[in-house]
Structure 1
């Protein structure tokens, strides 16, 4: 089943701006509970939109039904309203996190007692990171330290207030928002711009991708380099961990996605992006399949990729060829809805598109594997007194 375009959001065009410059949507993000959507719509502006979309933005009831059907029960957010965050600089990176719950008696106005406050971090063109409280739109912190564009951001998935930033100044920086945004660590090791950073769901590892032919894997406990993942033939620009932390994927300008075992550094498979000539016109140049973004689906059975050949591809984990394609122009980024069912993509034109994605019922085998791999490393699995074929399945050598 091919992805269907459900909706497209387009920014307004204020007269005071030169519309042809700085209009790219470099990042899109859903909050972990699926209640908010954020997009950098160009011209130094981030839009915060309550989810699901209203019919005025949507123009299609299908998406609203799908998102409500997959949305987890959450506490009432009241009458949440769309917000515009004026960041003052071009916005490159976005990341949501759940703020730690306030203690009884805490008078901090940013957080209601007993309710987690959702925050959004924005990475800016001048090296600043601005952190906003989503419900109010108030600026909480301005984090200073980077000397160039903050290209990507990643919060610790366990809800802790640890934020990692990736920058064109060739460093990653670790920030602790529970200590007023104090800088905890500077990670140096890249020799080119750092494009992407991703913290594993178990919060043990950090992967970073730069304009190099390798990705770096770091320990989130000691903030030291674990290993360099080498195998690409061009710049690595995007990376993501599987929901159980057992797999890592990296995407490169060499038109390939490599699936790794992050614990051993072993390459498990390579997904090659072969251009579909029907999707290209005669003016297309070389590097038409250069990858821009890769992300795992929430259940860990699919990947989505955006490439310069004007295609969104969806891959099944066990196959080496895409299971679905969708035509899209000037794609830059992609992200799955946290509860599955659709994908958001951002473009160079400042637009956001929402596409249907396969909804699958995970097999009992996969659910068991995912549960085990959430707390067992590859080495621990290999040490278990179980049959070899079962070890191969649990370590994703077979599917």
Structure 2
């Protein structure tokens, strides 16, 4: 993510005795922030939507939690990793949940069953940093700081294919909706599109100046714009050049997601950063629409419905942010757990 200097406007405090006082519009009162029991006892590293009301999260406390963010109720908690959870992933409306960890393993958990893992996926030599599950939850793709990608059969736990990437430490993976492709960001700066059937590179997007820490694909997949990697938007239909860049964070952009369509809102992209900010950007113009200033470095984002974003924090749990339309897009914190 490219940083840019702060812009400060000069304020003129002088007034004329003949000038009419400016009318100041009263701001609508901010909604009260509901504080629920925390999902984790330490930093939250990853969050994902399971249903419009439920989310899955992983943390430094080595646990995976299923939480109802509307009611503030913890539904299930899974324990089994030996070190902190780095990523969580799930197919929408599925009972299967996947988690990656610094203990070099990936585990599958099934809701309403034993609290222990129902499947383990060992095989990486270093921390697992990328995790993507197919829409039918039958295949799993993982990436690691050991510079490898693995494709797993969920039912058997067997690694069907593995490729090594020279000096390409994986930072994030995302499955393209309704397609057999996986998008990958890495520390060598380019983003890559992989064909999961053969685990080969189908396309490489041009490298950027900075490390690409995250990637996402719009729900339209090849039928719409996407993916976004770091803070750059590409079109999957025309992969030769980038479409747009979003510049404004002062530190590493840790997450970027497409905002679901709803509320009559124009297409938008949300980003979170270690600079403690969540920002919404106009997908069409690239302009900044609104921002939220949180406490502590912010990690992953998840969109649970068309009007709600969840943001994981290293120090303050998970923030529930409401997206609404006033004179423009507005972003307000309404809950925390």
Shorter chain as denominator, the TM-score bin is 0.5 to 0.7
Displacement of 1:267 in angstroms is 1.3
Query: Are 2:171 and 1:237 aligned?
Result: yes
Q: Distance between the aligned counterparts of 2:163 and 2:259, measured in 1?
A: 28
TM-score by length of 2: 0.68
User: Offset of 1:83 from its aligned partner?
Assistant: 4.9
1:335 aligns with 2:257: yes
Question: How big is each residue's C-alpha offset from its partner over 1:364-391, in whole Å with a ceiling of 9 and x where there is no partner?
Answer: xxxxxxxxxxxxxxxxxxxxxxxxxxxx
CA offset at residue 97 of structure 1? 1.0
Counterpart check, 1:266 vs 2:185: no
The 1-side partners of 2:137 and 2:70 are apart by 26
Task: Return 5+ residue gaps in structure 1 as ranges.
Answer: 1-53, 59-79, 99-116, 276-288, 307-311, 360-399
Paired residue for 1:292, among 206, 213, 216?
213
TM-score, normalising length from structure 1? Answer: 0.58
Deviation, 1:344, is 1.3
Equivalent runs, 1:26-37 vs 2, <5 Å: none
Q: How many residues get paired?
A: 248
Partner Cα separation in structure 1 for residue 240 and residue 146 of structure 2 = 24
Task: Find 2:117's aligned residue among 183, 192, 198.
Answer: 183
Alignment of 1:1-399 (within 5 A): 83-86=35-38, 87-98=40-51, 118-157=53-92, 159-179=93-113, 181-231=115-165, 233-275=167-209, 289-300=210-221, 301=224, 302-306=226-230, 312-317=231-236, 318-329=238-249, 330=251, 331-339=253-261, 341-358=267-284
Q: Secondary structure at the match of 1:290?
A: coil
Partner Cα distance (2:41, 2:153) in 1: 34
Q: Is the Cα–Cα contact under 8 Å of residues 88 and 99 in structure 2 kept in the other structure?
A: yes
Rounded to whole Å, the distance in 2 between the matches of 1:204 and 1:269 is 24
User: Cα deviation per residue 1:157-182 (whole Å; 9 max; x = unaligned)?
Assistant: 3x121100011110001101121544
* Structure-2 separation of matches of 1:187 and 1:147: 14
Cα-to-partner distance string for 1:243-300 (whole Å, 9 max, x where unaligned): 113211111100111111111222111112233xxxxxxxxxxxxx211001111111
- Distance in 1 (CA, whole Å) between partners of 2:37 and 2:273 is 19
- Looking at structure 1, the residues matched to 29 and 194 of structure 2 have their Cα atoms a distance apart, in angstroms, of 43
Gaps of at least 5 residues in structure 2 are 1-26, 286-337
Deviation at 1:358, TM superposition (A): 4.1
> Which has the larger helix fraction?
1
Alpha-carbon distance change, 320 to 230 in structure 1, aligned in 2, over 3 angstroms: farther
